[in-house]
Each structure stands twice: as C-alpha cells, then as structure tokens.
Structure 1
C-alpha cells in the first residue's frame, strides 16, 4: 500500500499526518511546540515544492508514506488517481494507493499562520499561529491517520481517495 496525504500547502497538516502515521509523534496527548517544529518538513516547504510527492518514510507494515501540496488545484488528486489506475491496469503497479485529504483538520488560526509564514514570509508572526493551530488540531489529525489506515485495509478498490469531510 502507498499512502499519500494531501492539502493546500503540503507542509503543515500533511507533515503532521505523515509523522503520526510513521509513529514519530506521541499519540495520547497534545503536541509540544518542539514536537511540532521537529516534525519532518513542518513549515519548511515552499511554493516550489507544490505538486511534488514528498517521501516521509516506511510505516510499520512496510508501506511508503508521502505528502503533496496541491493548492486549490482540483486536478492534482484525480491526476494521481488516474495515473495509478493506468499503471495498475498495465500490471506495472500492484499496490493499493490511499490518498487522504488533511485539509478538513485545518483550523482557521493555522490557515492564517500558514499564509503569514509561507505566503508572506513573515515567520515570526506566522509560526506561533501555526503552533497554536497544530496544538488545536493534532487530535483530529491523529484520528484522520487512524481512519486512513483502516480504510486502506478495509476497502477493496486499488485507488482510494478519502476527502475526510467529517473532520470539519
């Protein structure tokens, strides 16, 4: 199985989701500032990384975990889905792919922080808001990751797209 977490910028909730997925963050409490800032790629990617699959590692079951920033482009996820289907149809890919949207977990404060830090490059203002937002939504992200893993095991289709709307 291949897991791909996606959202607008690909550097905040997706990075936390990948870190939770790979057991790099504690599951039973709110995250500390240090844990958030040390999650791989958290608040580090730029507009040049948009649309690129960022590899985060292999999970405990041997599955690779990726993230991608898609902006408002509604075609990125369908393009990944279609490409995977083509490869699977040609027997060049026999793994299930799970594409999970982390955007529904993003609180408003995190959106503002991301805009300030990544969009306007005002990190000293944006980072504290990002940290506050991450602390606010870390439980939701953790639950989203658990549900993403369950869906990957439960569903029989080869390409699974999870919009995760119930996390709003």
Structure 2
C-alpha cells in the first residue's frame, strides 16, 4: 500500500500526519514545540515544492508514506489517481494507493502561521502561530491517520481518495 497525505502546501498537517503514521509522534499526547518543529519537512517546504511527492518512510507494515502539496488544484489528486490506474493496468500491479486529505484539520492559526512564515518569510510571527495551530490540530490529525489506515484496510478499491470532511473529523475525534 502507498499512503499519500495531501493538503494545500504539503508542509504542515501533511508532515504531521506522516509523522503520526510512522509513529514518530505520540498519538493523542500534547505535543511540545520541539516535537512539532523537529518533524521532518514541517514548515520547510516552499511554494515551488507544491506538486512534489515526498517520501517520509515505511510504516510498521512496510507501506510507503508520502506527502504532497496540491495547491488550489481540484484536479491534482484525481489526475494522479488516473495516472496510477493507467500504470496498474500497464504493469499489472496489485498495489493499493490511498490519498488522504488533511486540509479539514487545519485551524485558522495554522493558516495564518503558514502565510506569515512560508509566503511572507516572517517567521517570528508565523512559527508561533504554526506551533499553536499544530497543538490545536494534533488530536484530529492523529485521528485522521487512524481513520485513513482503517479505510485503506477495509476498502477493496485499488485507488482510494479520502476527503475527510470537517464535520466527520470534528465529531469523531472528540
């Protein structure tokens, strides 16, 4: 199985989701500033990195975990799905591909933090907001990862796109 966590920029909630998936962060524990800032790729990617599929590691079951920033594109993930399906047919692979949208977990503080830090380069304003936002979102991101793994294991689809709508996450993570 291949897991690809995606959102707008690919450097905040996706990086945290990959870290939770790979058990590099403790699930459902309050994260420290240091834990957040030490997550690989957290707040390190630039706008020019959007669309790059970044490998984070293999999980305990040997599944690959990736992240990608898709920008505002509504066709990026469906396009990747189509490309993967073509390659599956051509090469006869049975590999499952799971796309999981982390965007619904992004709190407003993280949105502003990312804007100040990544877009404007004002880290002294952006980074504290990002840390606060990561702390606010951490439980929902951990839940999203568990939900993603469960959906992947229970699905018979070769390519699964999980949108993770906000209403579901808010009610289920509590």
Give the TM-score of the pair, scaled to structure 2.
0.94
- Asked if structure 2 preserves the Cα contact closer than 8 Å seen for 1:84 and 1:93, the reply is no
Which residue in 1 is equivalent to 2:156?
A: 156
State the secondary structure of the residue aligned to 2:99.
strand
In structure 2, distance between residues paired with 1:58 and 1:146:
16
Which residue in 1 is equivalent to 2:139?
A: 139
CA RMSD of aligned residues (A): 0.9
TM-superposed CA distance for 1:146, in Å, is 0.3
Which residue in 1 is equivalent to 2:24?
A: 24
In structure 1, distance between residues paired with 2:104 and 2:120:
23
State the secondary structure of the residue aligned to 1:90.
helix
Unaligned residue ranges in structure 1 (runs of 5+): none
In structure 2, distance between residues paired with 1:126 and 1:68:
21
Which residue in 2 is equivalent to 1:128?
A: 128
Which residue in 1 is equivalent to 2:169?
A: 167
In structure 2, distance between residues paired with 1:28 and 1:7:
21
TM-superposed CA distance for 1:167, in Å, is 2.2
Partner deviation per Cα, 1:86-131 (whole Å, 9 max, x = no partner): 1111235320000000000000110000000001111110000000
Taking a change above 3 Å as real, the CA distance of residues 155 and 125 of structure 1, as seen in their structure-2 partners, is same
In structure 2, distance between residues paired with 1:51 and 1:45:
11
In structure 1, distance between residues paired with 2:118 and 2:70:
14
Unaligned residue ranges in structure 2 (runs of 5+): none
In structure 1, distance between residues paired with 2:161 and 2:87:
17
Tell me how many residue pairs correspond in the alignment.
168
Partner deviation per Cα, 1:40-87 (whole Å, 9 max, x = no partner): 000000112100000000000000100000110111101111011111
In structure 2, distance between residues paired with 1:118 and 1:92:
41
In structure 1, distance between residues paired with 2:92 and 2:76:
21
State the secondary structure of the residue aligned to 2:115.
helix
1:3-152 alignment to 2 at 5 Å? 3-152=3-152
In structure 1, distance between residues paired with 2:84 and 2:92:
9
